[in-house]
Structure 1
Amino acid sequence: MLKSNEDTNRNNVVLVDNSGNFIGIKDKLQAHIDGDLHSAFSVFVFNKKSELLLQRRASNKYHSGGLWSNTCCSHPFPNENTTAAGKRRLQEEMGFQCEIAEIHTKIYNVPCSNGLIENEYNKVFIGRFDGTPEINDEEVEDWRWISVNQLLKDMKTSRDEYTSWFPVLLEDVIAAWNNA
């Protein structure tokens, strides 16, 4: 059976240089094995009480399953606008959409589970939503709203319950939200 373009896109990442310029396309799992720098995005959604919406990644994910992380994150498809990709994944994972604003780009290289590496040119977005998510249980196994103060306390005592990239991004996200 032939794969659809969307299936092909979901199984590939866009390789980039340190300036975010396109280099090529590679199998997603292989890029994480090899530690290739690739395009990604992370979305952090807050509510009117300035609580952050976290998701617990589904346990069956190819890496970092069962760990708490930002509202959603993924990789844009080749030739897909990153903002549109962020909105697409919010809908696919959390069952809602909201306006999101890019706050900056961060490059990081961190180890994750299963011996894989997240080496990402990551565009970071914040947004606001005051409803109840309708999670896709193939992607997300749990969710919660949490105050920033409680989150920071929790991360000090339970760091191993969070994804490796989450603390790398969190400080700048909190500052951007507080200044929004």
Structure 2
Amino acid sequence: GGIDKRVIERFEKEAAEMNKRSFKYAWVLDKLKAERERGITIDIALWKFETTKYYCTVIDAPGHRDFIKNMITGTSQADCAVLIIDSTTGGFEAGISKDGQTREHALLAFTLGVKQMICCCNKMDATTPKYSKARYDEIVKEVSSYLKKVGYNPDKIPFVPISGFEGDNMIERSTNLDWYKGPTL
């Protein structure tokens, strides 16, 4: 299941040529030309790997409203959902608003029978101040309240503060988020 370093280097070069340097990891699963040009996932993509205890398939499903049918296709196959929450000012508020994608994806996941969820508070490197515990706590409180209304038990859902761009708490514990004592993604 690992990704060859040369593949990442190639993606990094191609992404830089398109002025999208930060997308090099997204391109592992985003294969379509339109996905790479627009910087969004359009179709579902699968990536399989094994751990010592589990056989896993990651299903990368679109988050963009225009591709909700593809998101449903991917989510309907899942045992566990990873809900990526934009932690930036404005981004979180848009996602948790009445017609927001965070709310819609959580509701769809539960409706489609996905009973396990992990919430990732992403873009913690772009909060004010950077890596703000107060912002994380605000997001956990508000999203937990909504997840409870949907039917989830928020006490059983880990909320992991991350930065996908910087790699914070993705695999290894980040010193930028030393106030957080829970698991990494």
TM-score (norm 1): 0.31
Greater strand content: 1
Q: Which has the higher contact order (CA 8 A, sep 6+)?
A: 1
TM-score (norm 2): 0.31
Higher alpha-carbon Rg: 2
Greater helix content: 2
